[in-house]
Amino acid sequence: MTAQIIGTYFVCLSLIIGSGFVLVGAIGLLKFNDPMTRLHAPTKVGTVGIGMLLIASIIHSFDIGQPSTHELLIMAFLFVTAPISANFIGKVNIHRRACDTPPPPADGDTWSTLDVPEPENEN
């Protein structure tokens, strides 16, 4: 068994795993009904799925003898931007009161997204 055949097997395995994660993320995006639960499917599962597909591309490029590392830049951008955009979408939904308000903090402080100054009473 040559290194090229082993590399091909790893590419196939990465493609199958990545496609499975992407499929689960797409089904979750369609199945969940409110924006806060829809955040989990594409940001958590989809990121891992796309990462596996990019790993398959890296392995394939090394396997055919033309190494490419562009996929590493794509992965870095994806892994940085997906959690940040999910955080912003979650904060917008909390501010718009489009979802359940988070439970109160244990030590009596306010949540950073709901920290609104109290109006001053003028008598």
Which are the contacts of 79, defined by CB distance < 8 A and separation ≥ 6? 47, 51
Is residue 36 one of the residues assigned to a domain? Answer: yes
94 and 101 in contact (C-beta within 8 Å)?
yes
Is residue 103 one of the residues assigned to a domain? Answer: no
Is residue 109 one of the residues assigned to a domain? Answer: no
Is residue 27 one of the residues assigned to a domain? Answer: yes
Tally of structural domains, the chain: 1
Is residue 108 one of the residues assigned to a domain? Answer: no
Is residue 59 one of the residues assigned to a domain? Answer: yes
pLDDT exceeds 90 at position 15: yes
| Domain ranges, residue 70 | 3-95
Condensed to tens digits (0 to 9), the pLDDT of residues 53-109 reads 999 999 999 988 888 888 989 988 988 888 888 888 888 877 777 766 666 666 655
pLDDT exceeds 60 at position 110: no
12 and 53 in contact (C-beta within 8 Å)?
no
Q: Inter-axis angle of helices 70-95 and 46-63, to 10 degrees?
A: 170
Condensed to tens digits (0 to 9), the pLDDT of residues 21-64 reads 989 888 888 888 877 777 777 777 778 888 899 999 999 999 88
Is residue 82 one of the residues assigned to a domain? Answer: yes
Is residue 116 one of the residues assigned to a domain? Answer: no
